[in-house]
Chain A
Amino acid sequence: MILSQRLNKRFEEVQSRGEVALIGYIMTGEPQLERTLEYIRAMEAGGIDMLELGVPFTDPIADGPILQAAHARALRQGVTIQTALQLVRELRKSSELPVLLMTYYNPVFKLGEESFARRCSEAGVDGVIILDLPIEEAQSWVNQARKYGLARVFFATPETPAERVTKICEYSSGFLYLVSRYGTTGISETLAPTARPLIERVKPLVPSDLRIAVGLGLSTRAQIESVVQLGVDGVIVGSALAARIAEGIAPQALTDYVRELKLGTRLSLTEPRRSES
């Protein structure tokens, strides 16, 4: 099966508009299960180019307090992988928004990697991000994801040495997720000092067919603008959206916030990372 065409096509479209992709996160079941789709549509209306859809876990060790609370609320509503996939099926009736499932590994392991990959593919998921599955443990997952045409998103961090970045890229498809700073998910006031050196160091190591997206801590248009100027293909906003949704933001106000963030993704001040003829 050919890799998630929706994802690559969307990257190309965004690039041809002179922008980078804005990737927005929502936990399945936020703010309530019956309203998640409405909030996804609100984010899409505001201009997110891709969606990261969260699957909850009981022990989200990579997440800060904002997303921990979202995990807990989702679990209380009985959200599982199946719930997230049902949501994607609903979304697919009216939208071609690329969707990446974001999950911890144990729910995937419990369901079975093959079964999980097949169900994702059937539901219209484009890629999967598994927070606690480094490449050493990912060989069988990569095979399943490849078989079912799912993007396999892995991470590079300020701690990742060059030779490891190269190896991670070999396992990846869709994009490489750059973790801009130390720590769990959350909101930073300013762009982390680790972000620029990381992007500058990693960029030359990434093959031209793999995109780069940066996440962790981003919450303002100004932060996004400064990341975009460093020449990446996507920016990921998670906790900042989750916090607003948790605080009860109305869908229209969420659309407005996303629109403001999206303005920061214009490449007017810089050259695209690579020219696509």
Chain B
Amino acid sequence: MAVKVQRPGAMKVGELPQEGHFGEFGGQFVPEILIPALKELERAYREISVRFDFQSELKALRADYGGRPTPLYFAKRLTEYAGGARIFLKREDLVHGGAHALNNALGQALLARAMGKQRVIAETGSGAHGVAVAMACAVLGLHAEIYMGACDIERQQMNVQRMKLLGATVHPVTSGSQTLKDAIDEALRDWVTNVPTTYYLMGSVVGPHPYPMIVRDFQRVIGDEIKGQLLRREQRLPDLLVACIGGGSNAMGTFFPFVTDEKVHFLGVEPAGAAALCHGSVGVFHGAKTFVLQDEHGYIHKTNSIAAGLDYPAVGPELALYKKLGRGEYIAVSDREALEGFRLLARFEGILPALEAAHALSAGVQRAQRMKRDQIVVITLSGQGDKDLDTVVRYDTQPASEQTL
């Protein structure tokens, strides 16, 4: 059976980022006080990140501190269970700290240090990015302050404790829905107040330009490695790449190096309770024009996902462009399906995935079932699930009527 994904042409070269925009998406919709800082960030990034000493320090940190390259693991028993395409897992859960977040955090923390900024602020949803920032700042001698929604603090206690032990200050955010979106609101308010001394280390491919570009560039190591590893092992490219999407950083990191490889299909998996690409409309949020979940007045919806790291009403502007161009297929899976993905991986492969990654697993396995045995699916396992044990256990003991479908 053929892969049922859209078959669009590769992205047009002219659609690649120009002046901070990805086609009609992206931009810098921020208060005036942040504009000079964003311009300075872009200038510094373009100048510093290409230097040999920057690149070699980042490479060494990624390898010796972060544990890269991460394995591309052939999930034999999961493949047998699915009975279709061969399933490979990109093991970002094995990056130091337990998630892909460190790829970006190390890169930007190095940039912050090179720019002479000692104070680093960041938002976090699941705590994965917060932990990665706390680690990167500890190892580079910077001070980290992390904004986290009170609701997320409640459901990701382990990561809160890890951040504190790593020397970071954690600021609970009690406004709005008390989740990732509100943590970004509060981090932006901090930046507005402390912009001369502070580096804002954005955790996903969202926000104003140049963040979507910077985070993508630091995360593309995921896709670059997949490409090299699969070519060495199988002498071919994958048929399908699968990644979960909240803001979209592990998806962009996975997809971007393949964007001009037309035969490689993308499957982006959103949580049903926060599916901006699937259910959103074009709007302007957190500094960028993109797909966002909003009402007819332009007010932003509260979201509801079992995975704190995906619980976000918008999506990175470059993914918005992919969606619009038909580059990739974007679907939503429910909390229950994600939990099934969690259990599948635990039982068949002995790996507890983060609930975020469990969304990609659920959709990826279902898709592999409908593909031929000589085809290859790569699912990015963006993080490990120790942080989610309470949530999973609680969900199991909850009456079915109260479970989100």
Interface residues of A (CB under 8 A from B): 57-64, 68, 72, 75, 80-81, 105-111, 131-134, 136-137, 154-161, 164, 168, 179, 182-184
Query: Which residues from 250 to 296 on chain B have a C-beta closer than 8 Å to any C-beta of chain A?
Result: 283-287, 289, 292, 294, 296
Q: How far is the CB of B341 from chain A (nearest CB, A)?
A: 31
Are B37 and A159 neighbours in the complex by a CB distance under 8 Å?
Answer: yes
Are A137 and B28 neighbours in the complex by a CB distance under 8 Å?
Answer: yes
Q: How far is the CA of A62 from the CA of B176 in the complex (A)?
A: 15
Q: How far is the CA of A161 from the CA of B33 in the complex (A)?
A: 11
Are A61 and B32 neighbours in the complex by a CB distance under 8 Å?
Answer: no
Q: How far is the CB of B80 from chain A (nearest CB, A)?
A: 47
The answer, yes or no, to whether B35 is at the interface (CB within 8 Å) is: yes
Are B297 and A136 neighbours in the complex by a CB distance under 8 Å?
Answer: no
Stretch from B41-49, B191-199, B353-361 contacting the other chain: B191-199
Are B284 and A106 neighbours in the complex by a CB distance under 8 Å?
Answer: yes
Are A61 and B192 neighbours in the complex by a CB distance under 8 Å?
Answer: yes
Chain A contact residues, majority secondary structure: loop
Interface residues of B (CB under 8 A from A): 27-37, 175-176, 181-182, 185, 188-189, 192-196, 283-287, 289, 292, 294, 296-300
Are A106 and B285 neighbours in the complex by a CB distance under 8 Å?
Answer: yes
Q: Which residue of chain B has the shortest Cβ distance to A161 in the bound complex?
A: B36
Are B189 and A159 neighbours in the complex by a CB distance under 8 Å?
Answer: no
Q: A57-B298, A64-B189, A132-B287 are in contact. List 6 more A-B contacts (CB 8 A).
A: A59-B300, A61-B31, A61-B286, A72-B175, A134-B29, A137-B28
CB-CB < 8 A to A131: which residues of B? 31
- Among B189, B285, B294, the residue within 8 A (CB) of A184 is B189
14 examples of A-B residue contacts, CB within 8 angstroms: A57-B299, A59-B182, A59-B185, A61-B185, A61-B192, A72-B175, A105-B29, A108-B298, A132-B284, A157-B32, A160-B32, A160-B35, A179-B33, A184-B189
Task: Give the one of B176, B192, B292 with max A CB within 10 A.
Answer: B192
- Among A57, A107, A156, the residue within 8 A (CB) of B32 is A156
Are B283 and A134 neighbours in the complex by a CB distance under 8 Å?
Answer: no
Are A75 and B192 neighbours in the complex by a CB distance under 8 Å?
Answer: no
Known: A58-B300, A132-B29. A182 touches B192 (CB 8 A): yes
Q: How far is the CB of A99 from chain B (nearest CB, A)?
A: 20
Task: Give the one of B29, B34, B193, B286 with max A CB within 10 A.
Answer: B29
Q: How far is the CA of A63 from the CA of B287 in the complex (A)?
A: 15
Are A62 and B192 neighbours in the complex by a CB distance under 8 Å?
Answer: yes
- Among B30, B175, B299, the residue within 8 A (CB) of A132 is B30
Are B299 and A107 neighbours in the complex by a CB distance under 8 Å?
Answer: yes
CB-CB < 8 A to A158: which residues of B? 33
CB-CB < 8 A to B294: which residues of A? 106, 110
Q: How far is the CB of A268 from chain B (nearest CB, A)?
A: 33
